[in-house]
Chains A and B, each alone.
Chain A
Amino acid sequence: MKRYAPQIALIAVLAVSLGISMMSSQLDAYYLDIALNVGINIILAVSLNLVNGHTGQFSLGHAAFMAVGAYGASIFTLEAADQLIPMLGGPSTFATGVAFLIALLIGGLCAAFCGWLVGMPSLRLRGDYLAIVTLGFNEIVRVILQNTSGDGPFGGPLGLKGIPAHTSFFWVFAIAALCVYGVASMVNSTYGRGFLAVRDDEIAAGSMGINTTRYKVTAFVTGSFFAGLAGGLYAHLRTTISPEGFNFLKSFDIVVIVILGGMGSTAGVVLAAIVLTVLNEFLRDFEQYRMIVFSLLLIVMMIVRPQGLLPSLPFLKRKKA
């Protein structure tokens, strides 16, 4: 039984989230909304952790991939879902569900493609270039979206509105569970040792015959895919999206979660996503101090406890340089 524990946990989370989703109308809308935010942030943080934590690269543009996913999924839902639903046997829960799943996947794949496009040139180089390229890519995406025409499919600077609210508890937590499961089993597999090897010492990994660029690109594309899914979920939760919502400050938010949770520790990052999202919600009155405190935390953490609040397992831990 113990061998299948992760799979059982995955199925259990899926079942529980379906159950909660069915009775979501009886739950308090405010707390439900916070819970959904938590789920989306878990997806974002765990997927970024694959790049920044496990593979030791540093992406600062996760919000850009989220934006690509959000726009991809929303445009599909707004433009094509009406034609698709009759083909699936008319408006039913099943048909809308399938259409939403397709929209999410399209968003995720668009984001993954962008990830490949950005990752290919920059991942051949050392880590800090990726930081600046992804930051730049974030700006490129925002500028392009802002300069689209207001009545075109992208909606210009005001963005898109009237996106149907398809995102439910089930969708968010099913995808979050799949993301956590996917990333964890990827990293813990034989193949996945390559990610950790690249992080620990790129030159040594390369000389052991590991194709470091390929590992880095794989991690980056997978991370982008999940960021795209999170973007699609976000768009269908908020029902409006605008280019400004995906600026680099959003990317920093995700980076802060990953760093405080402990880079390379999936459990730590999930915990940090929960704590920071809830904390953000309750500290709304202290909005102007929030980022000051977070940035100070970031600096102090790097000096005092660079491995994060909940570091990864000891045998995976990086030895002192």
Chain B
Amino acid sequence: MEQFLQQLLNGLFQGSIYALIALGYTMVYGVLRFINFAHGDVFMLGAFTALGLHKAFGPALASMPWPVSLILILLASMAICGALGIIIELLAYRPLRNRPRLNVLITAIGVSLFIEYTAQLFFGATQRPFPELIPRTPVASTGGLTISVAQVIVLATTITLLIGLRIVVMKTRMGLAMRALSLNPTASTLMGVNNSVVISFTFGLGSALAAAGGILYASLYPSIEPFMGIQPGLKAFVAAVLGGIGNIPGAALGGLIIGITETLVKGYGQHFGIPSGYSEAVAFVILILILVFKPSGILGKTEREKV
């Protein structure tokens, strides 16, 4: 029982990171209706930015208590990667506005490969250790459960960011514009929404969340490399589809489900004849199942394509 609870908790931490990444996919899909393949790579850049900042300002940061330096690094990396997301949209996706979706999808793959291989050129292909921004010491081990400080911080940060996002989307004028744009781009322009600004903002926000996800992920699994974003990125996409693509609470829910299922398969799969190595493929099996039974996802609405 204790072991089961422990696995469930581990799944929750893992899933909360997937949720953070999935939000970016879902928001971009909501406003532009395309899969931003480069999202997983912004996640990777987030981790590398944090590493770079930590190296550059090491002595100054070391003099501060760790929560302060963590927040500084987190916010700075989010800002840098958010700006990067806006630049990517401006250079690669904006010229393709109103072109066939397939062309945009291909561009997204191109951007993704470009970021990965450029990062490999600069950072090298080897794994790098990630600094201990959050102490990895166990915080509590009651009733046979072990939770590390890093895990608690991961969960707390995710929840904070989720609430923040909810406020931005539901309570601000920009959030209202985002929702209007995702409902009907033409009508929102007619109502005086500057679609380009809203799209830039969405990319910036999504990329900032991905960067946060990258830093938290690297805090749990402290070795980073240029291709680290591919797997979590794909799984987060599956999470977004599972929750209903375009739906923000759905993305968070999907992330948790994927994280927990994955951890449970890793922990208990061998009792049912599933080797633990198969946990890598769990998300994709889930994806195929959703597409068969409920393509609109758990919380998504079925959309009819109109001519």
- Could you tell me which A residues sit within 8 Å of B by CB distance? 56, 58, 60, 118, 121-122, 124-129, 131-133, 135-137, 139-140, 143-144, 146-147, 203-204, 248, 252, 255, 259, 288-289, 291-292, 294-299, 302-303, 306, 318, 321
Q: Check B117–A321 contact: CB distance below 8 A.
A: no
Q: How far is the CB of B111 from chain A (nearest CB, A)?
A: 6
- Chain A residues lying within 8 Å of B98, measured Cβ to Cβ, are 321
Q: A128-B101, A132-B241 are in contact. Are A146 and B277 (CB under 8 A)?
A: yes
Q: Which residue of chain B has its CB nearest to the CB of A304?
A: B95
Q: Check B281–A125 contact: CB distance below 8 A.
A: no
The residue that B109 contacts in the complex, of A118, A252, A288, A297, with Cβ under 8 A, is: A252
Q: Check B92–A136 contact: CB distance below 8 A.
A: no
Q: Which residue of chain A has its CB nearest to the CB of B292?
A: A121
Q: Which residue of chain A has its CB nearest to the CB of B279?
A: A143
Q: How far is the CB of A136 from chain B (nearest CB, A)?
A: 3
**Stretch with Cβ within 8 A of A (4 or more), from B9-17, B42-50, B282-290:** B282-290
Q: Check A288–B117 contact: CB distance below 8 A.
A: yes
The residue that A294 contacts in the complex, of B96, B113, B237, B305, with Cβ under 8 A, is: B113
CA distance A180 to B275 in the complex (A): 41
Q: Check B113–A131 contact: CB distance below 8 A.
A: no
CA distance A127 to B307 in the complex (A): 17
CA distance A140 to B238 in the complex (A): 14
- Chain B residues lying within 8 Å of A143, measured Cβ to Cβ, are 277-278, 280-281
The residue that B288 contacts in the complex, of A122, A127, A321, with Cβ under 8 A, is: A122
Q: Check B121–A292 contact: CB distance below 8 A.
A: yes
**24 A-B residue contacts at CB 8 Å?**
A118-B288, A121-B291, A122-B291, A125-B295, A127-B105, A128-B35, A128-B101, A129-B295, A136-B283, A136-B284, A139-B281, A140-B284, A144-B281, A147-B278, A203-B307, A255-B106, A259-B106, A291-B113, A292-B114, A295-B110, A298-B109, A299-B107, A302-B110, A303-B96
CA distance A131 to B283 in the complex (A): 15
Q: In the complex, how many residue pairs between chain A and chain B have their CB atoms under 8 Å apart? A: 121
Q: How far is the CB of A159 from chain B (nearest CB, A)?
A: 15
Q: A128-B101, A132-B35 are in contact. Are A302 and B106 (CB under 8 A)?
A: yes
Q: Check A302–B291 contact: CB distance below 8 A.
A: no
- Chain A residues lying within 8 Å of B173, measured Cβ to Cβ, are none
Q: Which residue of chain A has its CB nearest to the CB of B113?
A: A295
The residue that B281 contacts in the complex, of A140, A291, A292, with Cβ under 8 A, is: A140
Q: Check A298–B285 contact: CB distance below 8 A.
A: no
The residue that B111 contacts in the complex, of A139, A255, A299, A306, with Cβ under 8 A, is: A299
- Chain B residues lying within 8 Å of A252, measured Cβ to Cβ, are 109, 113
Q: How far is the CB of A286 from chain B (nearest CB, A)?
A: 11
Q: Is B102 an interface residue (CB 8 A)?
A: yes
Q: B residues 115-157 with Cβ under 8 Å of A?
A: 116-118, 120-121
- Chain B residues lying within 8 Å of A297, measured Cβ to Cβ, are 110
- Which secondary structure dominates where chain A touches chain B? helix
- Chain A residues lying within 8 Å of B292, measured Cβ to Cβ, are 121
Q: Check A302–B103 contact: CB distance below 8 A.
A: yes
CA distance A302 to B112 in the complex (A): 14
Q: How far is the CB of B55 from chain A (nearest CB, A)?
A: 23
Q: Check A144–B278 contact: CB distance below 8 A.
A: yes
- Chain A residues lying within 8 Å of B121, measured Cβ to Cβ, are 288-289, 292
Q: Check B103–A131 contact: CB distance below 8 A.
A: no
Q: Which residue of chain A has its CB nearest to the CB of B276?
A: A147
Q: Is B298 an interface residue (CB 8 A)?
A: no
Q: Check B99–A136 contact: CB distance below 8 A.
A: no
Q: Check A147–B275 contact: CB distance below 8 A.
A: yes
Q: Check B114–A321 contact: CB distance below 8 A.
A: no
A128, A133, A204 interface centre (most CB from chain B within 10 Å) = A128
CA distance A78 to B240 in the complex (A): 43
Q: Check A136–B105 contact: CB distance below 8 A.
A: no
CA distance A303 to B97 in the complex (A): 10
Q: A132-B241, A136-B238, A146-B277 are in contact. Are A295 and B100 (CB under 8 A)?
A: no
Q: Is B201 an interface residue (CB 8 A)?
A: no
CA distance A122 to B238 in the complex (A): 14
Beyond known contacts A125-B295, A303-B92: 5 more, CB 8 A cutoff:
A128-B101, A132-B287, A288-B121, A292-B114, A306-B100
Q: Check B287–A133 contact: CB distance below 8 A.
A: yes
